[in-house]
Amino acid sequence: MESIGANLSEMQRTPLAPAHVAALREAGRQVSYAAGTYLARPGQLADRFVYVLDGEIEVVNAYTDERHLPSTLGPTQFMGEISFLNGGNASMAMRAVRDTSVIEVPRVTMLNLMSRIPEMSDIIITVFAARRRRQIEQRDSTLVLIGEERDREVRCIAEFADRNRIPYASHALGSVEADALAATCSLAPGRPAVIFGRDTVIDNPTPDSIARLLGLNLDLVDDEDFDVLIVGGGPAGVAAGVYAGAEGLCALVTEDVAIGGQAGTSSRIENYMGFPTGISGADLVWRGQIQAMKFGTRFAMPRRVARLEALPDGGFCATFDNGKRVRGKAVVVATGVQYRRLPIPRLTEFEGAGVYYAATDIEARYSKGTEAIIIGGGNSAGQAAMFLSRTASRVRLLVRGQSLAASMSSYLSSRLEAEPTITIEYGVEVSALHGDDHLDAVTIRHAASGAEETVPSRALFVMVGAAPNTDWLTDLVKLDDKGFVLTGEAVGASSLFETSRPGIFAVGDVRSGSVKRVASAVGEGSVVISRVWAFVDAGG
């Protein structure tokens, strides 16, 4: 995880030490597989750790049944991927090339073993993370999309997968690759599709259906008990998950869109300590998620908490939008904020079809060759402009005010002004959007003169701040006049993160008075767990 520049092929094959293998032998059992036997299939529960003693295991292409990668796993190496940590499903097929002998350790037993032997845990997590990174970078996965550039449903799946670091392949509608895949899956050519292996064509695809297929949407037992429920999977929530797990608390992190929250849409964070060359928000929080899973914290998504209730006998009950419920002795509110929409005619009509609220790799692809227009004057807008300038033919940053000084870091505004492909326009606003099923042009109005200009563009980014996600709290805690959660002295609490309701804590952007920065959110999520632990230890 630390060696960002390390060779991925080496990281994927780091061997375990002899003492680690001895521990595996003691905890597991030796199993033999005949040549041609599948040890894992896409969508199958990742319920065991597999270490190769003798023989050879290959990754199989789920669409051709042929060897997918040139290299195979042999003695001293092990199977597995990052989903193993969270009890998810396999994304790749694995098959014995010849008669093969392995040690198998059940998942729960293996996680306990990893917690007792941190050196072994470090090797396994490094290998798993490197394998996932390779899949993402090479766009190599059993999950394949056809027509994301044309179909809104498929594009929604692409955005969900991209933000959650789920590897997927994508083919343009009518391409040779798309038509060949359609024939393999007995689909009519020329139609958009979401496919997971040759036998699974997903009708009416949704983020929830994809999450279930990959085992991300955990089937929680109704009324299952946790020490702490962490609602929100942004930097604050994930940091709280790391420290809760490290402190031995039984913790569940729920997120309704994507792990990473609003920070996950940031293409490049350059002022986070320890990353002098910058890091994307999605990558930063993904590392934290893996770290939290290592300590046993569970993640469930996309799961939105619709209502929170205080129980008569102590503790809290959270009801999800699907009607399922879980209980927690304490709750950490880390729901952050949601994007503000502007009163522009037809805005919602073009959302996901030319109007976007984030600038990640996927939106950069949609911006290739067109003029990208960004509305906003904060750091998120500035970071998006720098990122999109790599792919867009030109970037216009539209600012309603007359200066960036009060809303954007000086290093970023200076960089924007020095970039020749970026134009900053002050005192302007978007007054109209044009197009049929996709955005084709944007009308810009100059406030001082009233003059209007229509600019051809297929990519408009709205980055004008956000409102807190607190509707689900059902009057359990006091909020300020803007809907942010009041904590600390403002409600007579003894610590900065306690709310007006004992047992409910708030951290990150959703907390009134918080500093709206990723580093601050991580710090708050880390620190709050000491108060949560004290509350739970005292019996709530």
Instruction: Over range 215-236, report the average pLDDT.
Output: 88
For residues 473-491, one letter each, b for 16 or more C-beta atoms within 10 angstroms of the residue's C-beta and e for the rest, the string is beebbbbeeeebbbbbeee
For residue range 14-24, list pLDDT tens digits in order: 889 999 999 99
The model's pLDDT over 451-472, given as tens digits with 9 standing for 90+, comes to: 999 999 999 999 987 789 999 9
- Model confidence at 12, in pLDDT bands (50, 70, 90)? low
Residue 520 pLDDT exceeds 80: yes
Q: What is the pLDDT of residue 271?
A: 76
CA–CA separation, 370 and 459 (whole Å):
7
- The rounded percent of the chain whose pLDDT value lies above 90 is 64
Please say whether the beta carbons of 126 and 1 come within 8 A.
Answer: yes
**pLDDT tier for residue 280 given thresholds of 50, 70 and 90:** confident
Question: What are 179-195's pLDDT values in tens digits?
Answer: 999 999 989 888 999 99
Do 252 and 326 meet the contact criterion of CB atoms below 8 Å apart?
yes
Order of strands, sheet of 93-96, starting from the edge strand that comes earlier in the sequence: 38-40, 93-96, 57-60
Other C-beta atoms closer than 10 Å to the C-beta of 521 total: 31
What is the chain's mean pLDDT, rounded?
90
Residue type, position 334, single letter: A
Higher pLDDT, 428 or 401: 428
| pLDDT value, residue 2 | 39
Ordered alpha helix ranges (H), 145-234: 152-163, 176-184, 207-214
Nearest to 461 by CA among 364, 346, 374: 374
Q: What mean pLDDT is predicted for residues 239-264?
A: 90
What's the whole-number mean pLDDT along residues 219-228?
A: 86
Assigned token pair, 270: 């350059």
Please say if the pLDDT value at position 1 is more than 60: no
Token pair, residue 276, equals 């002098």
CB burial class (10 A; 0-12, 13-18, 19+) of residue 446?
Answer: middle
10 pLDDT higher than 70: no
The CA distance from 57 to 35, in Å, is 9
Say if CB 107 and CB 89 are below 8 A apart: no
Domains and CATH numbers, the chain: 18-124 (2.60.120.10), 143-214 (3.40.30.10), 224-338+468-539 (3.50.50.60), 347-464 (3.50.50.60)
The rounded Cα 530 to chain-centroid distance in angstroms is 26
pLDDT, tens digit, 9 for 90 and up, residues 458-507 = 999 999 877 899 999 978 999 999 899 999 999 999 899 999 999 999 99
Residues paired with 106 in a beta bridge:
48
**Dist. CA 352–CA 163, nearest whole Å:** 14
Per-residue pLDDT for 11 more than 70? no
Q: Which tokens belong to 536? A: 């739970």
Q: Which of 338, 396, 393 is nearest to 366 (CA)?
A: 393
pLDDT at 9: 58
Q: 3-state DSSP call for residue 324?
A: coil
Largest CA distance in the chain: 79
**Residue 90 CB partners (closer than 8 Å, separation 6+):** 40, 41, 42, 43, 44, 45, 46, 81, 83
Cβ pair 103, 24 in contact under 8 A: yes
Cis peptide before 18 (omega within 30 of 0): no
Q: Is 147 left (phi over 0), alpha (psi -120 to 50) or beta?
A: left
**pLDDT tens per residue across span 348-369:** 889 888 999 888 788 888 899 9
pLDDT digits (tens, 9 = 90+) for 108-162: 999 999 989 999 999 999 999 999 999 998 988 999 999 998 888 999 999 899 8
CB 97 within 8 A of CB 58: yes
Q: Structure tokens of 456?
A: 């051809």
Within 209-304, strands assigned E span: 224-231, 251-254, 298-300
Residues near 335 by beta carbon (within 8 Å), at least 6 away in sequence: 231, 232, 237, 468, 469, 470, 472, 510
pLDDT at residue 466 in the model = 75
